Every structure is written in C-alpha cells, then in structure tokens.
C-alpha cells in the first residue's frame, strides 16, 4: 500500500457566514510535507477564513486532517498574540515554558529584538517582531500565516522567509501563507492555492 504523504488535506468542505453567500463549496486542498504554499486571492475572497478553518476556529462541512495528529497538536501560527501592556519583550519571550534555548536565541537574533523593549511603547513593526518570535518558539509541523510580514522592513522580512524555508527543508514542516506582498516569493513558494472564486475576483 502506497504511503500517503499529505501534510494537510481538506475534502469537500463547504462554509458560509450566516446570511452570506458561500465562500467554499466542495473545496479541496492537499499539501505535502515540506511545502511552502501561498494562498492567492483578493481581499474578501476567503483566505483568512480558510486559515481560521485550518486552525480549528471555524468548522466547515467536510473532512480536515493533518499528518501526525489533530490540529491542536500540529498547527502553529505567528503574529497573533496581542501585546499592548507595560511589560518587556524579555518578560513575554522568556515566559514561554518548555522552549529550546538555542531556538529562542536564534529567533531573537533573527528578528533583531531588543529584550528591553516595552510593549506599550514600541512601534507596530517592533511589536510584530515579538509576536512572531513568540509564535515560533515551539517547533511546528504546520504553520499558518496571514500577512505576517506586513509590518516588517525588507531585511527582516527576507531573513524570516529564509528561516521558514529552512524549517521546511530541514524538518519537513509545512507552511500555508496568505499574503498580498509577493516580493521575494517568486522562488520561495513551492505551491499556490488558487480557489476559482479567488481567481474571478482578481483585478
């Protein structure tokens, strides 16, 4: 029997918000381990909704499975942790338990984080760096990203994309990345997911 090397599989999914036309009808998606998959589509076409479904925040009518276990043990995200209070970057990053210190230091250096930053005083870009760092502290099997680099400068963005590529190539991790910023992604991505309605809504 041939081994199924699918990392993410969605079969026959249907989803609509109350009172709205369906965003997904018989939607299928299959992504292999080690893939860096871009979600392509215009605003309002359902990319963020799909990421939320994959993260278990919405439930579509269809089959959703991950290689290696349920979504709660498999899927990670980055950039979604709210950081607005009067506390330091060090307090937040070092407050996460069960972390490989080598991985933590690598991320701090990669994202050029000053551990003395106060979260209520930093810029949006600096806050985003800390959010991304915290989201990546635990190694992931599947990583869901929604415009995660939007507040980063060009250098930080390229460094982060290199880190993601390394995670996929060395650990067989899988990334599903929704973005409108395609600079530097021409050779980075291995797959594109383009829903027919997303294509229809493009200018």
pLDDT tens readout for residues 33-84: 999 999 887 777 788 888 888 887 776 566 666 654 544 445 666 655 666 6
**pLDDT score, position 113:** 96
Residue with tokens 């933590």: 104
In contact, 174 and 142? CB cutoff 8 Å: yes
**pLDDT score, position 193:** 86
**pLDDT score, position 161:** 92
**pLDDT score, position 101:** 96
Assigned architecture for domain 8-201: 3-Layer(aba) Sandwich (3.40)
| Strand runs labelled E in 53-167 | 63-66, 75-77, 142-146
Q: Calculate the average pLDDT of the chain.
A: 81
Q: Say if residue 203 is exposed, middle or buried (CB neighbours under 10 Å; 0-12, 13-18, 19+).
A: exposed
**pLDDT score, position 11:** 83
In contact, 45 and 15? CB cutoff 8 Å: no
In contact, 170 and 10? CB cutoff 8 Å: no
**pLDDT score, position 141:** 87
Low-confidence ranges of the chain (pLDDT < 70): 1-4, 59-84, 195-203
What are the distances in angstroms from CA 147 to CA 39, 88, 92, 182? 10, 25, 22, 11
**pLDDT score, position 160:** 92
**pLDDT score, position 167:** 94
Whole-model pTM over 0.75: yes
**pLDDT score, position 98:** 92
Phi/psi at 140 (nearest 5 deg)? -115, 155
């Amino acid at each position: 029997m041939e081994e199924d090397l699918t990392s993410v599989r969605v079969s026959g999914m249907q989803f609509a918000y109350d009172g709205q036309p369906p965003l997904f009808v018989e939607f299928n998606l299959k992504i292999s381990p080690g893939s860096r998959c871009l979600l392509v589509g215009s605003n309002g076409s359902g990319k963020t909704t799909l990421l939320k479904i994959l993260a278990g925040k919405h439930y579509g009518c269809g089959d959703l499975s991950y290689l290696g276990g349920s979504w709660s043990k498999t899927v990670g995200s980055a950039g979604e942790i709210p950081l607005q209070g009067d506390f330091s970057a060090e307090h937040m990053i070092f407050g996460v338990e069960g972390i490989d210190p080598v991985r933590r230091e690598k991320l701090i250096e990669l994202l050029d984080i000053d551990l003395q930053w106060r979260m209520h005083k930093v810029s949006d870009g600096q806050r985003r760096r800390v959010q991304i760092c915290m989201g990546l502290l635990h190694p992931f099997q599947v990583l869901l990203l929604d415009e995660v680099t939007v507040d980063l400068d060009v250098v930080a963005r390229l460094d982060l994309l290199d880190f993601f590529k390394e995670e996929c190539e060395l650990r067989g991790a899988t990334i599903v990345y929704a973005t409108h910023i395609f600079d530097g992604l021409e050779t980075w991505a291995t797959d594109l997911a383009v829903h027919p309605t997303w294509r229809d809504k493009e200018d």
